[in-house]
């Protein structure tokens, strides 16, 4: 018992107070499920899970060494599967509430509005029957030759950098069918910024009904130089130009389509207005190293004086910050390939990644406020190392240099070791290797 206690004590010293034993015990009391006293309690499982993510998605067999405890990887996975998802979700909300008490910086707001970014990201996992059945493969993937993918719909708060919600879906789930589940996390006056997958009459109308706003990339089939009345190809939506607000800036009337989306109830669809006025604007992006292109936006921010066109273009450009956070998750924390073998473990792994990302972001923001320096200039991987060493005071974190307009070729200098792709199932290739070895045929 001395070794176990010492390992847990070391583990507690390497985690911030936001996931203290008192907080987890308070959240456990609110759940109907009860746990008997054992080695891998919910508190220990959460602490080990967080430490595993900080160690860049290390193997489950590594956890006994990290915690100074004696258990098997199978025992930990069984304990992890018993861990209620509600507990991890409540822990995420508790962490977020601590940051909400801090007033946001005016520079992080858009004319006083809080900005939230929505986008989807895919993660890979082991090719097991249960995961293949639950999450599915990309279209055209032959069985046994690929890996299941999960599609995560993420809602990121631009003012705090926190992930407010993550929805875990099968790969072939379209984001539009899940977007409404993000709306409870939006407050009055909030602005949701997303790409063209979210731009539809129904989504815009639902945001307006909630006293929120949207700034979305227009659908690729919606041309700028259309007649006074056309049909949007994918939503069967009638549109009509109302008034010009300036060069490449206008108000347009959208009318509700006849068909109700399959993800919305008939009653909710009937409650939507028959028509609404939105703002359409277009601008050109000319950036050194990139091809010039025209971007068309659709927004519910109608006043051109309060919300100038140039500022809306800048706001949509901030949407790419969520890609940076995805890089932190998938590359820095190594979330690109999850190691769980069942849907229950995969769900808990993903929530653990979001929890760790939020904890790191909180520490990063606190450090940036003390310097002071812009949070996005602080090295994310250096914050991970700092947290692993116990958040020692007085440490100076690495600050990334300012490189505006930087561009690099999309090419790799270091040559990887190349192997042919697996185009037939593993057992067929094994049989072929066995036959060739008996015949003395070279395998290279």
Look at residue 102 in the predicted model and tell me its pLDDT: 58
Lookup result for tokens 């992080």:
108
Look at residue 213 in the predicted model and tell me its pLDDT: 96
> Angle 356-359-81 (CA atoms, 0-180°, nearest 5)?
35
State the pLDDT confidence band at 108, using cuts at 50, 70 and 90.
confident
Closest CA to 91 of 158, 42, 58, 53: 42
- Separation between Cα atoms, residue 350 and residue 117, nearest integer Å: 19
Q: Mean pLDDT, to the nearest integer, of 54-64? A: 91
Query: What token pair was written down for 166?
Result: 């993550």
- Separation between Cα atoms, residue 96 and residue 94, nearest integer Å: 5
State the pLDDT confidence band at 388, using cuts at 50, 70 and 90.
confident
49 pLDDT above the threshold of 60? yes
Question: In 31-44, which positions are buried (b, 16+ CB within 10 angstroms) versus exposed (e)?
Answer: eeeebeeeebbbbb
5 pLDDT above the threshold of 60? no
Give the pLDDT confidence of 331-382 residue by residue, as tens digits: 999 999 999 999 999 999 999 999 999 988 988 888 888 888 888 899 999 9
Look at residue 204 in the predicted model and tell me its pLDDT: 94
- Separation between Cα atoms, residue 372 and residue 399, nearest integer Å: 12
Task: Give φ, ψ of 415 to 5 degrees.
Answer: -80, 125
Percentage of residues in the chain having pLDDT higher than 90: 48
State the pLDDT confidence band at 19, using cuts at 50, 70 and 90.
confident
State the pLDDT confidence band at 258, using cuts at 50, 70 and 90.
confident
Q: Mean pLDDT, to the nearest integer, of 33-47? A: 85
Look at residue 37 in the predicted model and tell me its pLDDT: 81
Percentage of residues in the chain having pLDDT higher than 70: 88
Neighbours of 48 (CB within 10 A): 25
Contacts of 396 (CB under 8 A, 6+ apart): none
Neighbours of 416 (CB within 10 A): 6
Look at residue 233 in the predicted model and tell me its pLDDT: 43
Look at residue 209 in the predicted model and tell me its pLDDT: 94
Tell me if 140 sits within 8 A of 209, measured CB to CB. Answer: no
- Encode the chain in three state secondary structure: CHHHHHHHHHHHHCCCHHHCHHHHHHHHHCCCCCCCCCCCCHHHHHHHHHHHHHCCCCCHHHHHHHHCCCCCHHHHHHHHHHCCHHHHHHHHHHHHHHHHCCCCCHHHCECCECEEEEEEEEEECCCCHHHHHHHCCCCCCCCCCCCCEEEEEEEEECCCCCEEEEEEEECCCCHHHCHHHHHHHCCCCCEEEECHHHCCHHHHHHHHHCCCEEEEECCCCCCCCCCCEEEECCCCEEEEEEEEEECCEEEEEEECCCCCCCCCCHHHHHHCCCEEEEEEEEEEECCCCCCCEEEEEEECCCCCCCCCHHHHHHHHHHHHHHHHHHHHHHHHCCCCECCCCCHHHHHHHHHHHHHHHHHHHHHHHHHHHHCCCCHHHECHHHHHHHHHCCCCCCCCCCECCCCCCCCCCCCCCCCCCCCCCCCCCHHHHHHHHHHHHHHCCCCC
Q: Following CA atoms 38, 42, 46, 52 in sequence, which dihedral angle do they give, to the nearest 10 degrees?
A: 30
When the pLDDT of each residue in the chain is averaged and rounded to a whole number, the result is 86
166 pLDDT above the threshold of 60? yes
Between 299 and 412, whose confidence is greater?
299
Query: What token pair was written down for 396?
Result: 């100076």
Judge if the upstream peptide bond of residue 29 is cis by omega within 30 degrees of 0.
Answer: no
Tell me if 248 sits within 8 A of 225, measured CB to CB. Answer: no
Q: Mean pLDDT, to the nearest integer, of 84-103? A: 80
212 pLDDT above the threshold of 80? yes
Lookup result for tokens 């812009």:
374
State the pLDDT confidence band at 292, using cuts at 50, 70 and 90.
low
Closest CA to 46 of 74, 8, 72, 4: 8
Lookup result for tokens 């899940």:
178
Q: Mean pLDDT, to the nearest integer, of 141-164? A: 92
Task: Give φ, ψ of 9 to 5 degrees.
Answer: -65, -40
Contacts of 440 (CB under 8 A, 6+ apart): none
Dihedral of alpha carbons 22, 360, 39, 89, sign: positive
């Amino acid at each position: 018992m001395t070794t176990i206690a010492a390992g847990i004590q070391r583990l507690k010293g390497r985690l911030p107070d936001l996931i203290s034993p008192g907080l987890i015990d308070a959240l456990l009391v609110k759940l109907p499920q009860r746990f008997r006293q054992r080695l891998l309690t919910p508190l220990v499982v959460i602490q080990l899970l967080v430490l595993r993510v900080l160690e860049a998605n290390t193997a489950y067999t590594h956890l006994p060494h990290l915690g100074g405890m004696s258990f098997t990887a199978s025992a930990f996975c069984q304990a992890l599967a018993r861990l209620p998802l509600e507990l991890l979700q409540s822990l995420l909300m508790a962490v977020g509430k601590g940051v909400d008490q801090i007033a946001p910086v005016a520079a992080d707001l858009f004319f006083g509005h809080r900005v939230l970014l929505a986008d989807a990201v895919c993660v890979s996992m082991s090719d097991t029957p249960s995961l293949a059945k639950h999450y599915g493969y990309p279209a055209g993937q032959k069985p046994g030759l690929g890996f299941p993918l999960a599609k995560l719909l993420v809602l990121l708060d631009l003012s705090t950098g926190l992930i407010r919600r993550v929805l875990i879906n099968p790969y072939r789930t379209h984001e539009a069918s899940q977007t409404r589940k993000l709306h409870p996390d939006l407050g009055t006056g909030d602005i949701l910024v997303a790409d063209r997958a979210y731009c539809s009459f129904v989504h815009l109308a639902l945001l307006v009904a909630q006293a929120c706003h949207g700034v979305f990339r227009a659908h690729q089939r919606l041309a700028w130089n259309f007649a006074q009345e056309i049909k949007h190809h994918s939503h069967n939506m009638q549109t009509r130009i109302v008034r010009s607000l300036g060069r490449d800036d206008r108000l347009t009337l959208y009318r509700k389509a006849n068909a109700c989306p399959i993800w919305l109830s008939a009653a909710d669809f009937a409650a939507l207005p028959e028509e609404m006025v939105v703002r359409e604007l277009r601008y050109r992006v000319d950036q050194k190293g990139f091809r010039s292109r025209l971007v068309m936006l659709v927004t519910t921010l109608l006043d051109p004086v309060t919300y100038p066109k140039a500022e809306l273009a800048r706001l949509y450009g901030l949407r790419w910050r969520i890609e940076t956070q995805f890089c932190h998750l998938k590359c820095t924390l190594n979330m690109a390939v999850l190691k769980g073998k069942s849907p229950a473990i995969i769900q808990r792994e993903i929530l653990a990644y979001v929890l760790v990302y939020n904890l790191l972001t909180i520490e990063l923001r606190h450090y940036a406020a003390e310097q002071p320096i812009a949070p996005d200039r602080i090295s994310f991987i250096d914050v991970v190392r700092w947290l692993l060493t116990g958040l020692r005071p007085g440490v100076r974190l690495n600050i990334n240099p300012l490189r505006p307009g930087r561009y690099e070729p999309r090419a790799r200098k270091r040559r990887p070791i190349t192997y042919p792709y697996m185009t037939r199932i593993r057992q067929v290739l094994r049989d072929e290797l066995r036959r060739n070895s008996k015949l003395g045929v070279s395998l290279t």
